[in-house]
């Protein structure tokens, strides 16, 4: 039995390590260890805290999602009111602002900071002696709501600081564009109303009464302001941001400018570059850097005189709905799409917008002939924001969802509790077949390069594909008569199809096209069941016992393997020699002691293999490979002529192996 002091030490050590890796992952976006290794650390800590509950502290990384659901949020008055910003919509207004600042300051040699204006929800964090004690929303600027439990679930927010500081930190809580899309897809699937924009999604998540729901929303927070810092003097905004950065916060992007021309340049730059960001920004905030000067300039009732928000031109335009068409997807879902009078928005021409499903059309009341406001944000699919009803002249036509599949004519059915209408002809609808095959060959599925939609369409037309398994029956003489198909391209196509027979199990599971089973769920399933046959036999209950699998997914999997038709296709795949198990896929069996979990770096020229081959050997045995030596490196393998990496390894005391010693590890 280890004594209490040893346990306490181990717990503290684990917490420190976990905090560091959370910081690498969530703040720097640059993890040093795998998710599995991270989970392992977390599990060890959880176990110790369970055994020794008296050593559990609220700032432990295990305690992010702890609180019970609330009945309502408490209100709190802000220690310093959270003001709004006045806006500048163009260059002229920006120049006016800068001139006003110069006048109020009585000088023109000033430093400005420019920052992203993230389209999220403003929040304030209170730290007392280095511990996060309170988090609140902005509310009306005077009074906000206490949302501490929910903010604690955001992993880029430190629960404890490396220094015992007392202060308040302000910033934006937001959801990435990608997570926003994912959440909305889930909501639509469940017949719920989608969030109008990432800001609403963030607000909806922060204001969840159940912290577990908030935790599931992948929120992030970037900070840009520091107030009420005790016991330390800060003179500029830049100093504040640097301090926050050093304390482990994810700090807003910022840049210094010395004059209005530089400011305008930065604004123009981000007007274009904003699309490349993973999160939505709706403008930039321009602030005077010097804090004493800010004090001198003061505020109006609503906003500070030393700052302004530069707002980007809208990414919305008006257009006209010329038609509404239906596309049929892989699972038979009938999706309505609006055909628009083409408009240019943010660098692209928009001529279609998704309407998602019947409920969406009704909710927005979109009719053919309507004038509509269209929005494009980043790389998301264009959407109709709203109908401009004032422009109606009575000639607009209400759209009715078809009662039959527009492709095969079979009955279209809306199942209870579903928002989607589906073509009922699962076995025979050409559209479902086509989309199913395109899914099967796609990258995360069987990844058959060289076979694309054009080729699939020709093969379908010739009647050569009745299901995706027929791909494996194709012969040269089937391909040669097709357009643009010579002997060489035919050989390439056949080789690519052949190569796909050996894909890992999770690719195959995803490729089957089971409803609700995306690439991520497929990986989970492949980890839990080692073959298609095992998966085909599993019960709903067993599936639901897996964390990531809910009732909808479980039901869908079980139903899939009950369908005679699906089983026949699987037998066909097997008959063609497609690998049906996780056999030979690394994992536990191949893990080698001395290699698993260890981090390798290679330098110089190896005699027995290329560096790529050596790396693959390490990875297959459960090890990791990096390109640079750091304190986390376990081994540097040195071939002929290694240079600076050797010096670095010696300096850090990393074990250096010759090629022979390296090979020895695999014996």
What is the Cα gyration radius of the chain? Answer: 29
Give whichever of 83 and 213 is closer to ligand IVH, judged by the CB atom: 83
Selected from 201, 202, 293, 309, the binder of ligand IVH by CB under 6 A is: 309
How many CA atoms lie within 13 Å of 160's alpha carbon, on the beta-carbon side?
A: 15
**Shortest reach from residue 300's CB to ligand IVH, in Å:** 11
Nearest-approach distance from CB 292 to ligand IVH, in angstroms: 17
Minimum gap (Å) between residue 182 Cβ and ligand IVH: 24
Nearer to ligand IVH, 83 or 482 (CB): 83
Strands 655-657 and 635-638: parallel
- The full 3-state SS of 484-550, as one line of letters, equals CCCHHHHHHHHHHHHHHHHCCHHHHHHHCCCCCCCHHHHHHHHHHCCEHHHHHHCCHHHHHCCCCCC
3-state helix, strand, coil in the chain (%, to 5): 40, 20, 40
Report the distance separating Cα 188 and Cα 32, nearest Å: 36
Among 67, 304, 329, 430, binds ligand IVH (CB under 6 A): 304
Cβ contact 124:78 at 8 Å: yes
Among 132, 285, 308, 321, the residue binding ligand IVH under the rule CB under 6 A is 285
Per-residue string for binding with ligand IVH, 87-126, x by CB under 6 A?
----------------------------x-xx---x----
Measured from the CB of residue 511, what is the shortest distance to ligand IVH in angstroms?
A: 43
For the residues of 20-51, what is the DSSP string, one character each? HHHIIIIISS--SS-HHHHHHHHHHHHHHHHH
Query: What's the min distance (Å) between Cβ of 269 and ligand IVH?
Result: 16
Nearer to ligand IVH, 157 or 570 (CB): 157
Which are the contacts of 216, defined by CB distance < 8 A and separation ≥ 6? none
Of 47-55, 80-88, 205-213, 597-605, the segment contacting ligand IVH by CB under 6 A is 80-88
Q: Is 117 a catalytic residue?
A: yes
Which tokens sit at 606? Answer: 């190896």
Instruction: Give every CB contact of residue 545 below 8 A, 6+ residues apart in sequence.
Output: none
Our CB check for ligand IVH shows the closer of 285 and 570 to be 285
User: Residues 27, 33, 85, 267: which binds ligand IVH (CB under 6 A)?
Assistant: 85
Q: Return the number of the residue (195 or 306) whose C-beta is nearest ligand IVH.
A: 306
Beta carbon nearer to ligand IVH, 197 or 425: 197
Residues 222-261 that bind ligand IVH (CB under 6 A): 224-225, 252
What is the C-alpha separation between 102 and 99, in angstroms, rounded? Answer: 5
Please, which residue, 40 or 84, has the CB nearer to ligand IVH? 84
Of 75, 117, 322, 530, catalytic: 117
The Cα 154–Cα 598 span in angstroms is 30
Instruction: For residues 130 and 353, give the distance between their C-alpha atoms in angstroms, rounded to a whole number.
Output: 49
Q: Identify the residue whose tokens are 């073509």.
A: 423
Pick out residues in 143-202 that bind ligand IVH (CB under 6 A).
Answer: 172
Find the shortest distance in angstroms from Cβ 307 to ligand IVH.
Answer: 6
Task: Give min distance, CB of 113 to ligand IVH, in A.
Answer: 9
CA angle 137, 112, 203 (to 5 degrees): 20
Residues that bind ligand IVH (CB under 6 A): 82-85, 115, 117-118, 122, 138, 172, 224-225, 252, 285, 304, 307, 309
Active site amino acids = 117
């Amino acid at each position: 039995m280890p004594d209490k002091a040893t346990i306490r030490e181990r717990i503290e050590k684990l917490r420190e390590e976990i905090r560091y890796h959370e910081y690498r992952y969530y703040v720097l976006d640059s993890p040093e260890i795998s998710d599995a290794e991270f989970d392992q650390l977390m599990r060890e800590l959880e176990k110790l805290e369970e055994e020794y509950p008296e050593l559990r502290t609220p700032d432990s990384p295990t305690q992010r999602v702890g609180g019970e659901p609330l009945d309502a949020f408490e209100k709190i008055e802000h220690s310093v009111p959270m003001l709004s910003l006045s806006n500048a919509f163009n260059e002229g207004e920006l120049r006016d602002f800068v001139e006003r600042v110069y006048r109020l300051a009585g000088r023109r040699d000033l430093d400005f900071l420019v920052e992203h204006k993230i389209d999220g929800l403003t929040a304030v964090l209170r730290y007392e002696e280095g511990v996060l004690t309170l988090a609140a929303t902005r509310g009306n600027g005077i009074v906000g709501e206490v949302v501490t439990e929910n903010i604690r679930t955001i992993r880029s927010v430190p629960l404890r600081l490396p220094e015992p500081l007392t202060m308040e930190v302000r910033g934006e809580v937001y959801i990435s564009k990608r997570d926003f899309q994912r959440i909305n897809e889930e909501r639509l699937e469940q017949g719920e109303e989608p969030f109008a924009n990432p800001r609403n999604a963030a607000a909806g998540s922060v204001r969840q009464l159940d912290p577990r729901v908030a935790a599931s929303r992948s929120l992030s927070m970037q900070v840009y302001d520091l107030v009420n810092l005790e016991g330390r003097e800060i003179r500029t905004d830049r100093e504040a941001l640097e301090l926050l950065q050093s304390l482990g916060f994810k700090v807003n992007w910022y840049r210094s400018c010395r004059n209005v021309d530089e400011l305008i340049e930065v604004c123009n730059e981000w007007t274009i570059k904003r699309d490349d960001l993973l999160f939505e920004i709706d403008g930039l905030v321009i602030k005077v850097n010097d804090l004493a000067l800010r004090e001198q300039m003061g505020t109006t009732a609503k906003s500070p005189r030393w700052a302004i928000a530069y707002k980007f031109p809208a990414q919305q335009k008006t257009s006209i709905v010329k038609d509404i068409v239906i596309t049929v997807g892989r699972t038979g879902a009938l999706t309505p799409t609006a055909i628009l009078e083409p408009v240019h928005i943010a660098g692209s021409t928009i001529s279609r917008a998704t309407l998602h499903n019947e409920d969406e059309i009704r909710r927005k009341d979109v009719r053919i002939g309507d004038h509509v406001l269209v929005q494009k944000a980043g790389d998301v699919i264009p959407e109709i924001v709203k109908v401009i009803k004032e422009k109606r002249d009575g000639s607009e036509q209400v759209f009715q969802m078809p009662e039959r599949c527009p492709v095969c004519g079979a009955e279209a059915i809306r199942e209870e509790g579903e928002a989607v209408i589906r073509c009922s002809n699962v076995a025979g609808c050409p559209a479902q077949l086509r989309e199913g095959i395109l899914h099967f060959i796609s990258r995360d599925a069987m990844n058959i390069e060289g076979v694309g939609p054009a080729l699939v369409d020709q093969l379908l037309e010739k009647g050569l594909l009745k299901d995706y398994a027929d791909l494996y029956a194709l012969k040269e003489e089937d391909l040669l008569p097709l357009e643009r198909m010579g002997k060489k391209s035919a050989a390439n196509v056949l080789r690519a199809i052949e190569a796909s027979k050996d894909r890992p199990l999770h690719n195959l599971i995803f490729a089957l096209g089971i409803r609700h089973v995306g690439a991520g769920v497929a990986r989970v399933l492949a980890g839990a069941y080692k073959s298609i046959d095992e998966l085909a036999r599993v019960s709903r209950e067993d599936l639901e016992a897996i964390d990531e699998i809910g009732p909808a997914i479980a039901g869908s999997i079980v139903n899939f393997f009950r369908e005679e038709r699906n089983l026949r296709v699987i037998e066909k795949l097997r008959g063609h020699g497609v690998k049906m198990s996780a056999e030979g896929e690394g994992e536990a069996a191949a893990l080698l002691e001395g290699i698993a979990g260890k981090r390798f770096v290679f330098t110089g020229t190896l005699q027995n293999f290329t560096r790529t081959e050596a790396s693959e050997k390490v990875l297959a045995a459960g090890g990791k490979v990096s390109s640079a030596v750091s304190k986390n490196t376990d081994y540097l393998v040195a071939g002929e002529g290694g240079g600076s990496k050797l010096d670095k390894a010696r300096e850090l005391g990393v074990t250096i192996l010759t090629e022979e010693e390296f090979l020895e590890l695999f014996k």
